[in-house]
Amino acid sequence: MGKILPPGQFETENWPILHQGDVYQFDEQTWDFRMFGEVKKDISLSYAEIMQLPKTISTVDMHCVTTWSKFGTSFEGIALHELLKLVQVNRDARFVKIYGYYNGDRFGYSANMPLEALLGDDALFVYRWKDENHEWQDISPKHGYPLRFIPPASFYLWKGSKWASGIRFMKDDEAGFWEELGYSMTANPYKEERYR
């Protein structure tokens, strides 16, 4: 895959840190990962259960709507398609909202995407990363420790919830945190879909 800079973006080798609110302090006792909404039965996974799931390693480009793009970061984590094996999703659930921590609320941040766009190895909940200048290492607290969603490169990076807490399956598309504030529902950087 070639290195194609989406319109209006510039390349950075650093991995900038960007979020609203404070940084989540991981507490394994109270942490869980939930799948709910349009599913036969809700589930809640402990940190130990999450870390036992099959791992995927993917190299995914990141495009932030504030105009930086970082190419070629490799991530280790759990692909969303692995999590789908643990729930029975209703047939008409075509969208998801992926939740993350915001200012004291583990579900205070969210981003919406169509489920069918997230079935590849490039849609994953990550806990380790490396790039050309860095060895394999844990995702730092500021980048979303202990678990953080990385969306396919066909979405701006705000769709990648840090401090990920769960997935809600939905029949209809529904705006998340930034989408409610006027950002794009579809958010494709190659089409420069920043606002709506």
Q: Which H helix or E strand runs over 83? A: helix 80-83
If binding means CB under 6 A, how many residues of this protein chain bind ligand MTE? 18
Q: Which of 91, 93, 84, 80 is nearest to 151 (CA)?
A: 80
Pick 101 or 158: Cβ nearer Mo ion: 158
Q: Binding to ligand MTE by residue 100, rule CB under 6 A?
A: yes
Contact between 84 and 123 under an 8 Å Cβ cutoff? The reply is no
From the list 12-20, 72-80, 87-95, 124-132, the region that binds ligand MTE by CB under 6 A is 12-20
Site map 19..38 versus ligand MTE, x via CB under 6 A: xx------------------
Which of ligand MTE, Mo ion, none is residue 143 near (CB under 5 to 8 Å by kind)? ligand MTE
State residue 156 phi and psi, 5-degree precision. -60, 155
CB of 55 to Mo ion, least distance (A): 27
CB of 16 to Mo ion, least distance (A): 9
Which of Mo ion, ligand MTE, none is residue 20 near (CB under 5 to 8 Å by kind)? ligand MTE
Which of ligand MTE, Mo ion, none is residue 50 near (CB under 5 to 8 Å by kind)? none
- Give, as one character, the DSSP assignment of residue 50: H
Contact between 19 and 101 under an 8 Å Cβ cutoff? The reply is no
Q: Binding to ligand MTE by residue 150, rule CB under 6 A?
A: no
Q: In angstroms, what CA-CA distances link 142 with 20, 37, 88, 172?
A: 11, 29, 33, 32
3-state secondary structure of 96: strand
